[in-house]
Amino acid sequence: MGSTDYVFRTVWRVAGTPDEVAAILGDATLLPRWWPSVYLAVEPLPGTSEVGTPENSTAPGVPAPALLHTKGWLPYTLRWTMTVTEPVITRGFALTAAGDLNGTGRWSFEQDGPETVITYDWEVSAAKPLLRRLSWLLKPAFAANHHWAMARGVESLALELRRRRHPDDPTAVPLPPAATFRRALHRKP
């Protein structure tokens, strides 16, 4: 494995069903609303999906590719395109990344009593010049940045599941206000 290659396996456990988890994780357009510590902006891309169907008529369960602007706790951001390559179903889905990160990811969901066990396998290579140049030295810090982002993800997912189940609960943590993300996607970090 080269110095710019990363392989991660993350396992989460949340109170909820695989259907609920798939509905949340399978809709990239909502990531900045419920996982704002990592997802700065998401813009669905026009064109053709990975399965070769024309715009606005993707295969069932396969959303349009999306341009993502993401960050962690380290002072850099990443811009990459996420393309869902297998339909979003209650057992999970697969995706590819292209841009500042290139590779594949797979979300898997399994019911365990009242909880869902979520496994994310992520194999990527860093393409952003900063990451490529410094990976040989800072690979442990870059890996820690990923682990930080995923820890924020499970916290945010648990909150989102509670919000969706109890939308009228005044003690539920409210979602941040919706924002227009298009401008942020096109600015340089």
Q: Tell me if 54 is assigned to some domain.
A: no
SS (H, E, C) 90-139: CCEEEEEEEECEEEEEEEEEEEECCEEEEEEEEEEEECCHHHHHHHHHHH
Residue-number span of the structural domain to which 34 is assigned = 5-48+60-166
Q: Is residue 176 part of a domain?
A: no
Please check whether residue 108 lies inside any domain of the structure. Answer: yes
State the pTM of this model: 0.84
C-alpha 35/C-alpha 107 separation (Å) is 16
The answer to whether position 64 is within a domain reads yes
Q: Domains in the chain: how many in total?
A: 1
In a domain, 137, yes or no: yes
pLDDT-based confidence at residue 153 (cuts at 50, 70, 90): very high
| More confident position, 188 or 160 | 160
In a domain, 69, yes or no: yes
The 10s digit of each residue's pLDDT in 86-125 is 999 999 999 999 999 999 999 999 999 999 999 999 999 9
**What value, to the nearest 5°, has the Cα angle with vertex 169 and ends 167 and 173?**
80
The verdict on residue 151 lying in a domain is: yes
Kindly list the strands in the beta sheet with 101-112, ordered across the sheet, starting from the edge strand earlier in the chain.
5-15, 115-126, 101-112, 92-99, 77-84, 66-71, 39-44
Query: CATH code at 142?
Result: 3.30.530.20
Q: What is the pLDDT of residues 60-88, one digit of tens each?
A: 789 999 999 999 999 999 999 999 999 99
Tell me, yes or no, whether 141 lies in a domain. Answer: yes
